[in-house]
C-alpha cells in the first residue's frame, strides 16, 4: 500500500512541475514579447537612445528569465534566444533598423516556440 501512496505522490509532484514549467515559460515569453514590441515601436519612430536602453534592459531581463527557464528546459533550446538578443544593441548603434526589427521578430518566434513546447498537450506529452 505504501508503494501506491508513493507513486500517487510522485504523479502529483510530476504534474505540479509540468504545470509550473508551462506557466513559467508562458509568463517569460509574454513579458519579453511585450518588451520586444516596445523596442520595435521605438525603432520605427526613430528613438534610437530609448531603443538602445530597452535592448540593454532586455538582455538583463533575459539573464534573469534564463536562470528560471533552465530549470524546465534544455540549454540548447534557450541558447538561440540569448544569441539573438545579444546582437540587438550593436545593430541599434549601427542604425540597422531593418535588422533590428527582423531580430525582434525572430526572438518573438523563438519565445513562442519555447512556450508552445512547454504547454500540456497530448502531443507534447507523447
69-100 pLDDT tens trace? 888 788 888 889 999 999 999 999 998 899 99
What's the pLDDT band for 115 if we cut at 50, 70, 90? confident
CATH number at residue 36: 1.20.120
Closest CA to 85 of 66, 71, 72, 67: 66
Angstrom distance (rounded) from CA 106 to CA 68: 21
Domain that holds residue 102: 24-125
Q: For 28-52, write each residue's pLDDT tens digit.
A: 999 999 999 999 999 989 889 999 9
Which position has the higher pLDDT, 120 or 78?
A: 78
Question: Is 14 inside a domain boundary?
Answer: no
Q: Is residue 40 part of a domain?
A: yes
| Residue 2 resides in a domain | no
Instruction: Decide if pLDDT at 126 tops 70.
Output: no
**Strands, E, within 8-58: which ranges?**
none
Give domain status of residue 11, yes or no: no
The Cα 21–Cα 39 span in angstroms is 27
pLDDT(102) > 70: yes
85 inside domain: yes
Q: How many domains does the chain have?
A: 1
Is 74 inside any structural domain?
yes
38 in a domain, yes or no? yes
Helix intervals (H) in the chain:
2-45, 48-69, 75-93, 97-118, 122-125
Amino acid at each position: 500500500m505504501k508503494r501506491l501512496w508513493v507513486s500517487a505522490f510522485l504523479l502529483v509532484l510530476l504534474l505540479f512541475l509540468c504545470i509550473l514549467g508551462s506557466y513559467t515559460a508562458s509568463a517569460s515569453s509574454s513579458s519579453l514579447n511585450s518588451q520586444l514590441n516596445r523596442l520595435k515601436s521605438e525603432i520605427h519612430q526613430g528613438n534610437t537612445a530609448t531603443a538602445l536602453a530597452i535592448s540593454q534592459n532586455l538582455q538583463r531581463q533575459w539573464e534573469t528569465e534564463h536562470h528560471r527557464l533552465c530549470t524546465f528546459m534544455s540549454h540548447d533550446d534557450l541558447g538561440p534566444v540569448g544569441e539573438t538578443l545579444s546582437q540587438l544593441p550593436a545593430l541599434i548603434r549601427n542604425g540597422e533598423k531593418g535588422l533590428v526589427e527582423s531580430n525582434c521578430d525572430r526572438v518573438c518566434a523563438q519565445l513562442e516556440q519555447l512556450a508552445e513546447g512547454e504547454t500540456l498537450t497530448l502531443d507534447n506529452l507523447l
